[in-house]
Amino acid sequence: MPEALRLPWLKLAGVALALALWQAGATLANHRMVPGLPEIGAHLLDDLADAEFRAHVRSTLSHGLLGLAIAFAAALATGLAAARHWLVDAALHPLVTWCYPIPKLALYPLVILLLGLGWESRVAQVALECFFPLFVQCHAGGRAVARRMEWLALNAQAGRWHRLRDVILPSALPFVLTGLRVALPVMLIVTTVTEFIGDSQGLGHVIVRAASYFDTAGVISVAVVLGALGFAGDRLIVMARARLVFWERGVEL
């Protein structure tokens, strides 16, 4: 990457341009459905100061992260197992290949029929959506282990647990973290969409409520909060990668 592109002010230029274009469009439209930046900012500050709004944020995060954790645990176990054992791979590969392209939100009515309209159905839907991208990356990470590293471990008479801990997991870690980075925004999207229906909790419910009152600024305010949550989570994963995958510290993520 050219050194000039690393300057913080240059990275913010695109954001500033987008905000300027929005404000210009709002000024020209002069319509209540196209709020300007001051109105959106005021609404955002009011939301952040509201205890009820913060409770909706906690609801979205708690249910979304629980679903993501379930998907991550299942994908890590099955993905690595399929990558390391041909029998498991033969059993899972056709199923994953067939199910991956299916839009999982199309199955949400079925999930509701099985689990109801409560938080359980939202968590299950998030886990279902996030599992497949995580599985693909975990499987690729398990296949990425260099054979010479495995031979060295075998020659050193390392046991199965030590090979997993010292060879397989470190080699798979870059892929696993990439899968987690892909799954994080999926988690936020699915959690928000499933909150459109049923229980009156979460940021998705806040969006529906604001839209029912034609409160465009309220909808955009929630979208900004969701974007901030996704950005913060993404940066945490990037920092974890820089610390854990230290042998690839120079790689841009």
Class of CATH domain 46-248: mainly alpha
Q: How far is CA 253 from CA 130, 141, 177, 239, in A?
A: 20, 16, 10, 10
Break the chain into its structural domains and give their ranges: 46-248
Is the CB of residue 197 less than 8 Å from the CB of residue 117?
yes
Return the DSSP state at 249. T
Q: Among residues 203, 201, 219, which one has the least CA distance to residue 211? A: 219
The percentage of residues in the chain with a pLDDT greater than 90, rounded to a whole number, is 45
Amino acid in position 80: L
Radius of gyration of the chain (CA): 22
d(CA 141, CA 76): 10
Q: Which residue has the higher pLDDT, 105 or 248?
A: 105
Q: Who contacts 79 (Cβ-Cβ below 8 Å, separation ≥6)?
A: 134, 135, 136, 137, 138, 139, 141, 142
pTM for this predicted structure: 0.85
Average pLDDT, the chain: 85
State the pLDDT at residue 71: 96
The percentage of residues in the chain with a pLDDT greater than 70, rounded to a whole number, is 85
Convert the pLDDT of each residue in 62-112 to its tens digit. Answer: 999 999 999 999 999 999 888 888 888 888 888 888 888 888 888 898 999
